[in-house]
Protein backbone atom coordinates (compact mmCIF):
# COMPACT_ATOMS: atom_id res chain seq x y z
CA UNK A 1 0.00 0.00 0.00
CA UNK A 2 1.24 3.50 -0.84
CA UNK A 3 1.63 6.25 1.74
CA UNK A 4 -1.41 8.50 1.52
CA UNK A 5 -2.96 11.67 2.90
CA UNK A 6 -6.69 11.17 3.56
CA UNK A 7 -8.42 14.58 3.34
CA UNK A 8 -11.95 13.25 3.84
CA UNK A 9 -12.30 14.77 7.32
CA UNK A 10 -10.26 17.93 6.73
CA UNK A 11 -13.32 20.26 6.70
CA UNK A 12 -12.12 21.78 3.42
CA UNK A 13 -15.61 23.07 2.72
CA UNK A 14 -15.38 25.34 5.79
CA UNK A 15 -11.91 26.73 5.09
CA UNK A 16 -10.72 29.35 2.63
CA UNK A 17 -8.03 27.17 1.10
CA UNK A 18 -8.25 28.84 -2.31
CA UNK A 19 -6.53 32.03 -1.15
CA UNK A 20 -3.46 30.07 -0.10
CA UNK A 21 -3.53 27.55 -2.93
CA UNK A 22 -3.43 30.51 -5.32
CA UNK A 23 0.03 31.34 -3.98
CA UNK A 24 1.61 28.14 -5.31
CA UNK A 25 3.58 30.02 -8.00
CA UNK A 26 4.93 32.42 -5.37
CA UNK A 27 5.90 29.59 -3.02
CA UNK A 28 7.54 27.61 -5.82
CA UNK A 29 9.64 30.62 -6.80
CA UNK A 30 10.66 31.09 -3.17
CA UNK A 31 11.65 27.46 -2.81
CA UNK A 32 13.78 27.70 -5.97
CA UNK A 33 15.47 30.84 -4.63
CA UNK A 34 16.04 29.56 -1.09
CA UNK A 35 17.26 26.09 -2.02
CA UNK A 36 19.45 27.51 -4.78
CA UNK A 37 21.10 29.84 -2.27
CA UNK A 38 21.77 26.96 0.13
CA UNK A 39 19.41 28.27 2.79
CA UNK A 40 17.22 25.15 2.95
CA UNK A 41 19.61 22.19 3.28
CA UNK A 42 16.81 20.28 4.99
CA UNK A 43 15.22 19.96 1.54
CA UNK A 44 18.14 20.09 -0.89
CA UNK A 45 20.42 17.87 1.24
CA UNK A 46 23.66 18.89 -0.50
CA UNK A 47 25.54 17.18 2.31
CA UNK A 48 24.00 13.73 1.77
CA UNK A 49 26.73 12.08 -0.33
CA UNK A 50 29.58 13.26 1.89
CA UNK A 51 27.64 12.30 5.01
CA UNK A 52 27.11 8.75 3.77
CA UNK A 53 30.85 8.43 3.21
CA UNK A 54 31.60 9.84 6.66
CA UNK A 55 29.15 7.47 8.31
CA UNK A 56 30.58 4.48 6.44
CA UNK A 57 34.03 5.35 7.74
CA UNK A 58 32.64 5.93 11.24
CA UNK A 59 30.70 2.67 11.47
CA UNK A 60 33.50 0.45 12.77
CA UNK A 61 34.49 3.12 15.32
CA UNK A 62 31.08 3.44 16.95
CA UNK A 63 30.21 -0.27 16.66
CA UNK A 64 33.18 -1.01 18.93
CA UNK A 65 31.22 0.45 21.86
CA UNK A 66 28.37 -1.06 23.85
CA UNK A 67 26.96 2.28 24.98
CA UNK A 68 26.45 5.65 23.35
CA UNK A 69 25.68 8.65 25.55
CA UNK A 70 24.21 11.43 23.46
CA UNK A 71 24.52 14.93 24.90
CA UNK A 72 22.05 17.23 23.20
CA UNK A 73 18.87 19.20 23.76
CA UNK A 74 15.86 20.15 21.66
CA UNK A 75 16.47 19.37 18.01
CA UNK A 76 19.79 17.76 18.90
CA UNK A 77 17.96 14.98 20.75
CA UNK A 78 14.27 14.77 19.83
CA UNK A 79 14.82 13.21 16.41
CA UNK A 80 17.29 10.67 17.75
CA UNK A 81 14.85 9.67 20.49
CA UNK A 82 12.01 9.28 17.98
CA UNK A 83 14.14 7.05 15.77
CA UNK A 84 15.35 5.03 18.76
CA UNK A 85 11.82 4.23 19.92
CA UNK A 86 10.54 3.60 16.39
CA UNK A 87 13.30 1.27 15.20
CA UNK A 88 15.10 0.02 18.28
CA UNK A 89 12.35 -0.57 20.85
CA UNK A 90 14.13 -3.64 22.23
CA UNK A 91 16.30 -1.44 24.44
CA UNK A 92 13.25 -0.74 26.57
CA UNK A 93 12.07 -4.35 26.63
CA UNK A 94 12.95 -7.23 28.97
CA UNK A 95 16.17 -9.12 28.37
CA UNK A 96 17.89 -6.60 26.10
CA UNK A 97 21.61 -7.28 25.72
CA UNK A 98 22.56 -5.33 22.59
CA UNK A 99 23.83 -1.77 22.10
CA UNK A 100 22.32 0.91 24.33
CA UNK A 101 21.69 4.55 23.45
CA UNK A 102 21.29 6.97 26.36
CA UNK A 103 20.13 10.52 25.68
CA UNK A 104 21.03 13.27 28.16
CA UNK A 105 18.67 16.00 26.96
CA UNK A 106 18.09 18.01 30.13
CA UNK A 107 19.82 19.64 33.07
CA UNK A 108 19.09 16.57 35.19
CA UNK A 109 21.57 15.90 37.97
CA UNK A 110 19.92 12.58 38.90
CA UNK A 111 20.30 11.17 35.39
CA UNK A 112 23.81 12.52 34.88
CA UNK A 113 25.02 11.05 38.16
CA UNK A 114 23.50 7.70 37.17
CA UNK A 115 25.39 7.74 33.88
CA UNK A 116 28.64 8.55 35.68
CA UNK A 117 28.07 5.80 38.24
CA UNK A 118 26.85 3.01 35.99
CA UNK A 119 28.20 3.41 32.46
CA UNK A 120 31.51 1.59 31.80
CA UNK A 121 33.73 4.31 30.29
CA UNK A 122 35.89 1.82 28.39
CA UNK A 123 32.77 0.61 26.52
CA UNK A 124 31.09 4.02 26.09
CA UNK A 125 31.29 6.69 23.40
CA UNK A 126 30.03 10.17 24.29
CA UNK A 127 28.47 12.10 21.41
CA UNK A 128 28.10 15.84 22.00
CA UNK A 129 25.75 17.65 19.61
CA UNK A 130 25.71 21.44 19.43
CA UNK A 131 25.79 23.37 16.16
CA UNK A 132 27.05 26.55 17.83
CA UNK A 133 29.26 24.75 20.33
CA UNK A 134 27.92 27.12 22.97
CA UNK A 135 24.71 25.47 24.18
CA UNK A 136 25.48 25.52 27.90
CA UNK A 137 23.11 22.66 28.83
CA UNK A 138 24.96 20.41 26.39
CA UNK A 139 28.50 21.77 26.64
CA UNK A 140 28.18 21.80 30.44
CA UNK A 141 27.57 18.04 30.37
CA UNK A 142 30.48 17.67 27.96
CA UNK A 143 32.80 19.31 30.52
CA UNK A 144 31.72 16.82 33.18
CA UNK A 145 31.92 13.77 30.89
CA UNK A 146 35.31 14.92 29.59
CA UNK A 147 36.68 15.07 33.12
CA UNK A 148 35.10 11.70 33.96
CA UNK A 149 36.58 10.04 30.89
CA UNK A 150 40.02 11.54 31.52
CA UNK A 151 39.98 10.41 35.13
CA UNK A 152 38.97 6.85 34.21
CA UNK A 153 40.81 6.35 30.91
CA UNK A 154 43.75 8.74 31.03
CA UNK A 155 45.06 9.98 27.69
CA UNK A 156 42.69 7.65 25.83
CA UNK A 157 39.68 9.77 26.88
CA UNK A 158 39.45 11.61 23.55
CA UNK A 159 39.13 8.31 21.70
CA UNK A 160 35.75 7.86 23.39
CA UNK A 161 34.40 11.21 22.27
CA UNK A 162 32.58 12.30 19.12
CA UNK A 163 31.59 15.90 18.41
CA UNK A 164 28.82 17.02 16.04
CA UNK A 165 29.14 20.75 15.56
CA UNK A 166 29.85 23.58 13.14
CA UNK A 167 32.41 22.66 10.52
CA UNK A 168 34.57 25.76 11.00
CA UNK A 169 33.92 27.59 14.25
CA UNK A 170 32.73 27.41 17.86
CA UNK A 171 34.04 25.99 21.12
CA UNK A 172 33.51 22.33 20.21
CA UNK A 173 35.28 22.80 16.90
CA UNK A 174 38.26 24.21 18.83
CA UNK A 175 38.12 21.22 21.21
CA UNK A 176 38.24 18.84 18.27
CA UNK A 177 41.34 20.52 16.91
CA UNK A 178 43.04 20.72 20.28
CA UNK A 179 42.50 17.10 21.32
CA UNK A 180 42.10 15.29 18.00
CA UNK A 181 38.50 14.32 18.71
CA UNK A 182 36.54 12.73 15.87
CA UNK A 183 33.92 15.12 14.47
CA UNK A 184 31.11 15.30 11.97
CA UNK A 185 29.67 18.63 10.82
CA UNK A 186 26.23 20.14 11.16
CA UNK A 187 25.65 21.75 7.74
CA UNK A 188 25.32 25.52 7.48
CA UNK A 189 21.74 26.87 7.68
CA UNK A 190 20.44 23.64 9.18
CA UNK A 191 18.58 24.49 12.39
CA UNK A 192 18.28 21.94 15.15
CA UNK A 193 14.63 21.08 14.62
CA UNK A 194 15.34 20.37 10.94
CA UNK A 195 18.54 18.41 11.57
CA UNK A 196 17.45 14.82 12.30
CA UNK A 197 18.45 13.67 8.80
CA UNK A 198 22.01 14.93 9.25
CA UNK A 199 24.78 13.54 11.46
CA UNK A 200 22.72 14.78 14.42
CA UNK A 201 20.18 11.98 14.10
CA UNK A 202 21.99 9.51 11.88
CA UNK A 203 24.98 8.83 14.16
CA UNK A 204 22.79 7.33 16.92
CA UNK A 205 20.70 5.60 14.25
CA UNK A 206 23.85 4.01 12.79
CA UNK A 207 25.00 2.94 16.26
CA UNK A 208 21.72 1.10 16.82
CA UNK A 209 21.86 -0.57 13.42
CA UNK A 210 19.02 1.23 11.69
CA UNK A 211 18.74 1.32 7.91
CA UNK A 212 19.85 4.92 7.46
CA UNK A 213 20.03 4.55 3.68
CA UNK A 214 16.31 3.77 3.57
CA UNK A 215 15.58 6.64 5.97
CA UNK A 216 17.45 9.11 3.76
CA UNK A 217 15.96 7.69 0.56
CA UNK A 218 12.44 8.18 1.90
CA UNK A 219 13.17 11.76 2.86
CA UNK A 220 14.71 12.50 -0.53
CA UNK A 221 11.68 11.03 -2.28
CA UNK A 222 9.57 13.79 -0.71
CA UNK A 223 12.13 16.60 -0.58
CA UNK A 224 13.94 16.32 -3.92
CA UNK A 225 11.02 17.64 -6.01
CA UNK A 226 10.83 20.68 -3.72
CA UNK A 227 14.50 21.47 -4.33
CA UNK A 228 14.24 21.18 -8.11
CA UNK A 229 15.48 24.43 -9.71
CA UNK A 230 12.72 24.00 -12.32
CA UNK A 231 9.91 23.59 -9.77
CA UNK A 232 6.66 25.12 -10.99
CA UNK A 233 3.64 26.31 -9.10
CA UNK A 234 1.54 23.59 -10.71
CA UNK A 235 3.93 20.91 -9.49
CA UNK A 236 4.07 22.40 -6.00
CA UNK A 237 0.27 22.63 -5.79
CA UNK A 238 0.12 18.85 -6.24
CA UNK A 239 2.71 18.17 -3.51
CA UNK A 240 1.37 16.98 -0.17
CA UNK A 241 3.58 19.33 1.84
CA UNK A 242 2.15 22.43 0.14
CA UNK A 243 -1.40 21.14 0.53
CA UNK A 244 -0.78 20.64 4.26
CA UNK A 245 0.73 24.13 4.48
CA UNK A 246 -2.28 25.73 2.80
CA UNK A 247 -4.54 23.76 5.15
CA UNK A 248 -2.53 24.85 8.18
CA UNK A 249 -2.62 28.51 7.21
CA UNK A 250 -6.35 28.35 6.40
CA UNK A 251 -7.04 26.72 9.78
CA UNK A 252 -5.35 29.59 11.59
CA UNK A 253 -7.51 32.12 9.77
CA UNK A 254 -10.58 30.29 11.09
CA UNK A 255 -9.30 30.25 14.68
CA UNK A 256 -8.03 26.67 14.81
CA UNK A 257 -4.90 27.50 16.79
CA UNK A 258 -4.08 24.06 18.19
CA UNK A 259 -2.74 21.15 16.15
CA UNK A 260 -3.04 17.64 17.59
CA UNK A 261 -0.51 15.08 16.37
CA UNK A 262 -2.30 11.82 17.19
CA UNK A 263 0.00 8.82 16.62
CA UNK A 264 -1.72 5.45 16.22
CA UNK A 265 1.61 3.82 15.40
CA UNK A 266 2.69 3.16 19.01
CA UNK A 267 6.42 2.90 18.28
CA UNK A 268 6.26 6.23 16.43
CA UNK A 269 4.80 8.08 19.40
CA UNK A 270 7.97 10.13 19.98
CA UNK A 271 7.58 11.67 16.55
CA UNK A 272 4.86 13.66 18.29
CA UNK A 273 7.45 15.31 20.53
CA UNK A 274 9.71 15.91 17.53
CA UNK A 275 6.79 17.49 15.64
CA UNK A 276 5.86 19.63 18.64
CA UNK A 277 9.21 21.42 18.59
CA UNK A 278 9.18 21.69 14.80
CA UNK A 279 5.69 23.24 14.67
CA UNK A 280 5.87 25.41 17.80
CA UNK A 281 9.36 26.83 17.36
CA UNK A 282 8.79 27.51 13.67
CA UNK A 283 5.32 29.07 13.78
CA UNK A 284 5.00 30.62 17.24
CA UNK A 285 5.95 34.17 16.22
CA UNK A 286 4.62 37.70 16.57
CA UNK A 287 1.65 36.74 18.72
CA UNK A 288 0.53 34.13 16.21
CA UNK A 289 0.86 30.43 15.58
CA UNK A 290 -0.63 27.07 16.34
CA UNK A 291 0.04 25.13 19.53
CA UNK A 292 1.06 21.52 18.82
CA UNK A 293 -0.34 18.78 21.07
CA UNK A 294 1.35 15.36 20.86
CA UNK A 295 -1.05 12.50 21.61
CA UNK A 296 -0.64 8.73 21.58
CA UNK A 297 -3.28 6.28 20.50
CA UNK A 298 -4.82 4.54 22.26
CA UNK A 299 -3.36 5.82 25.53
CA UNK A 300 -4.70 9.34 25.22
CA UNK A 301 -8.21 8.21 24.40
CA UNK A 302 -8.39 7.68 28.15
CA UNK A 303 -6.99 11.09 29.10
CA UNK A 304 -6.91 14.23 26.94
CA UNK A 305 -9.28 12.99 24.24
CA UNK A 306 -12.21 14.33 26.28
CA UNK A 307 -10.86 17.84 25.65
CA UNK A 308 -10.27 17.12 21.98
CA UNK A 309 -13.84 15.89 21.52
CA UNK A 310 -15.83 18.17 23.78
CA UNK A 311 -13.64 21.17 24.61
CA UNK A 312 -13.04 24.44 22.85
CA UNK A 313 -13.51 24.11 19.08
CA UNK A 314 -10.06 25.40 18.20
CA UNK A 315 -8.32 22.12 17.40
CA UNK A 316 -7.29 20.40 14.19
CA UNK A 317 -5.56 17.05 13.93
CA UNK A 318 -2.86 15.21 12.03
CA UNK A 319 -3.80 11.58 12.55
CA UNK A 320 -0.99 9.04 11.99
CA UNK A 321 -1.93 5.44 11.17
CA UNK A 322 -0.54 2.30 9.54
CA UNK A 323 -2.89 -0.59 8.62
CA UNK A 324 -0.01 -3.06 8.21
CA UNK A 325 1.25 -3.10 11.80
CA UNK A 326 1.96 -6.53 13.36
CA UNK A 327 -1.09 -8.61 14.19
CA UNK A 328 0.28 -9.71 17.56
CA UNK A 329 -1.01 -12.68 19.55
CA UNK A 330 -4.60 -13.82 19.29
CA UNK A 331 -7.15 -13.38 22.03
CA UNK A 332 -8.12 -16.70 23.65
CA UNK A 333 -11.39 -18.33 22.58
CA UNK A 334 -12.58 -19.10 26.10
CA UNK A 335 -13.43 -15.51 27.05
CA UNK A 336 -16.53 -14.42 29.00
CA UNK A 337 -19.55 -13.61 26.83
CA UNK A 338 -19.19 -9.88 27.44
CA UNK A 339 -15.87 -10.03 25.56
CA UNK A 340 -17.04 -12.46 22.88
CA UNK A 341 -16.42 -9.87 20.15
CA UNK A 342 -12.63 -10.30 20.48
CA UNK A 343 -12.53 -14.12 20.72
CA UNK A 344 -9.89 -15.43 18.35
CA UNK A 345 -9.18 -11.95 16.95
CA UNK A 346 -5.67 -10.61 16.53
CA UNK A 347 -4.58 -8.26 19.31
CA UNK A 348 -3.52 -5.77 16.63
CA UNK A 349 -7.10 -5.59 15.35
CA UNK A 350 -7.98 -3.70 18.50
CA UNK A 351 -5.55 -0.88 17.73
CA UNK A 352 -6.93 -0.50 14.21
CA UNK A 353 -10.50 -0.47 15.50
CA UNK A 354 -9.63 2.11 18.16
CA UNK A 355 -7.94 4.29 15.53
CA UNK A 356 -10.95 4.15 13.24
CA UNK A 357 -13.34 4.91 16.08
CA UNK A 358 -11.33 7.86 17.34
CA UNK A 359 -10.82 9.30 13.86
CA UNK A 360 -14.55 9.15 13.14
CA UNK A 361 -15.43 10.58 16.55
CA UNK A 362 -13.02 13.50 16.14
CA UNK A 363 -14.49 14.34 12.77
CA UNK A 364 -18.03 14.05 14.11
CA UNK A 365 -17.01 16.42 16.92
CA UNK A 366 -15.97 19.12 14.44
CA UNK A 367 -12.20 18.57 14.54
CA UNK A 368 -10.70 19.09 11.06
CA UNK A 369 -8.51 16.04 10.49
CA UNK A 370 -6.03 14.82 7.88
CA UNK A 371 -5.00 11.19 8.17
CA UNK A 372 -1.33 10.39 7.49
CA UNK A 373 -1.85 6.85 6.26
CA UNK A 374 1.50 5.03 6.10
CA UNK A 375 1.77 1.96 3.91
CA UNK A 376 4.45 0.55 6.20
CA UNK A 377 6.18 1.46 9.45
CA UNK A 378 9.71 1.09 8.07
CA UNK A 379 12.54 3.63 7.96
CA UNK A 380 11.76 4.76 4.41
CA UNK A 381 8.28 5.79 5.53
CA UNK A 382 9.74 7.57 8.56
CA UNK A 383 12.05 9.54 6.27
CA UNK A 384 9.09 10.52 4.11
CA UNK A 385 7.13 11.66 7.16
CA UNK A 386 10.03 13.76 8.46
CA UNK A 387 10.50 15.49 5.11
CA UNK A 388 6.77 15.99 4.56
CA UNK A 389 6.16 17.65 7.92
CA UNK A 390 9.34 19.70 7.78
CA UNK A 391 8.50 21.10 4.34
CA UNK A 392 4.87 21.71 5.32
CA UNK A 393 6.00 23.62 8.40
CA UNK A 394 8.34 25.85 6.40
CA UNK A 395 5.68 26.72 3.84
CA UNK A 396 3.00 27.25 6.50
CA UNK A 397 5.28 29.89 8.00
CA UNK A 398 5.80 31.56 4.65
CA UNK A 399 2.05 31.60 3.99
CA UNK A 400 1.58 33.20 7.43
CA UNK A 401 4.17 35.84 6.59
CA UNK A 402 6.62 34.83 9.32
CA UNK A 403 10.12 33.32 9.32
CA UNK A 404 9.83 29.59 10.15
CA UNK A 405 13.59 29.15 10.52
CA UNK A 406 14.43 31.35 13.52
CA UNK A 407 13.41 31.27 17.22
CA UNK A 408 13.97 34.77 18.64
CA UNK A 409 11.91 34.34 21.81
CA UNK A 410 13.88 31.27 22.88
CA UNK A 411 17.10 33.27 22.89
CA UNK A 412 15.85 35.66 25.60
CA UNK A 413 15.42 32.87 28.13
CA UNK A 414 18.92 31.60 27.32
CA UNK A 415 20.44 35.04 27.89
CA UNK A 416 18.63 35.45 31.20
CA UNK A 417 19.83 32.02 32.35
CA UNK A 418 23.40 33.00 31.51
CA UNK A 419 22.92 36.27 33.40
CA UNK A 420 21.78 34.27 36.43
CA UNK A 421 25.03 32.29 36.23
CA UNK A 422 26.91 35.63 36.07
CA UNK A 423 28.26 35.24 32.54
CA UNK A 424 30.24 38.18 31.19
CA UNK A 425 28.35 41.07 29.63
CA UNK A 426 24.53 40.81 29.45
CA UNK A 427 24.09 44.14 31.22
CA UNK A 428 20.43 44.59 30.30
CA UNK A 429 19.58 41.00 31.18
CA UNK A 430 21.29 41.29 34.57
CA UNK A 431 19.35 44.46 35.33
CA UNK A 432 16.08 42.76 34.39
CA UNK A 433 17.03 39.75 36.48
CA UNK A 434 17.83 41.90 39.50
CA UNK A 435 14.51 43.74 39.21
CA UNK A 436 12.67 40.43 38.98
CA UNK A 437 14.45 38.86 41.95
CA UNK A 438 14.10 41.90 44.22
CA UNK A 439 10.43 42.55 43.49
CA UNK A 440 7.85 41.74 46.15
CA UNK A 441 6.59 38.17 45.77
CA UNK A 442 3.07 36.94 46.41
CA UNK A 443 4.03 33.71 48.21
CA UNK A 444 1.36 31.41 49.66
CA UNK A 445 1.84 28.09 51.39
CA UNK A 446 -0.19 25.12 50.12
Catalytic residue among 52, 150, 414, 418: 414
The predicted-structure confidence for 366-398, as pLDDT tens digits, reads as follows 999 999 999 999 999 999 999 999 999 999 999
- What value does the mean pLDDT take over residues 189-210? 97
Enumerate the domain spans of the chain: 4-36+220-400, 41-212
pLDDT over 90 (residue 245): yes
Give the confidence band of 251 by pLDDT, cuts at 50, 70, 90: very high
Q: What is the pLDDT of residue 419?
A: 87
pLDDT over 90 (residue 288): yes
Q: Which of 163-167, 263-267, 430-434 has the lowest mean pLDDT?
A: 430-434
User: Active-site residue 281, yes or no?
Assistant: yes
Q: What is the pLDDT of residue 343?
A: 97
Domains 4-36+220-400 and 41-212 share a fold: yes
- Residue with more model confidence, 407 or 209: 209
The predicted-structure confidence for 106-127, as pLDDT tens digits, reads as follows 999 999 999 999 999 999 999 9
Average pLDDT over all residues of the chain = 96
Catalytic residue among 13, 168, 302, 445: 302
Which pTM was predicted? 0.95
- What value does the mean pLDDT take over residues 140-164? 97
The predicted-structure confidence for 225-234, as pLDDT tens digits, reads as follows 999 999 999 9
- What value does the mean pLDDT take over residues 289-308? 96
pLDDT over 90 (residue 410): no
Give the confidence band of 411 by pLDDT, cuts at 50, 70, 90: confident
Instruction: Tell which CATH architecture fits domain 4-36+220-400.
Output: 3-Layer(aba) Sandwich (3.40)
Give the confidence band of 399 by pLDDT, cuts at 50, 70, 90: very high
User: Active-site residue 302, yes or no?
Assistant: yes
pLDDT over 90 (residue 413): no
Domain 41-212, CATH:
3.40.50.10490
User: Active-site residue 150, yes or no?
Assistant: no
- Let me know: does 62 contact 202? Beta carbons within 8 Å: no
pLDDT over 90 (residue 402): yes
Catalytic residue among 281, 285, 371, 384: 281
Q: What is the pLDDT of residue 417?
A: 87
CA 220 to chain centre: 17
pLDDT over 90 (residue 421): no
Amino acid sequence: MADMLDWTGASLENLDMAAFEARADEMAARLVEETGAGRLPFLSMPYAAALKEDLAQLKDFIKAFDHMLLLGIGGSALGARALQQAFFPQQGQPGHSGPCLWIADNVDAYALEAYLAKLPPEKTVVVTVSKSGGTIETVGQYFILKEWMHRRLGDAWSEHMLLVTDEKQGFLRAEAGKYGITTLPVPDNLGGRYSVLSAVGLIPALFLGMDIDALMAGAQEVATPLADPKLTGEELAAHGSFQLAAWGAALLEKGFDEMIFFAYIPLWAKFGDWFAQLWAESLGKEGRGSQPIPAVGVTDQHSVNQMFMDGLRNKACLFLTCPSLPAGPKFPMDLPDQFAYVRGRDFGDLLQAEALGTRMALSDSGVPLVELLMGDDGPRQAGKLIALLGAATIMTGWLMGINPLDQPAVELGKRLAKARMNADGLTEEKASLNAFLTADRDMREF
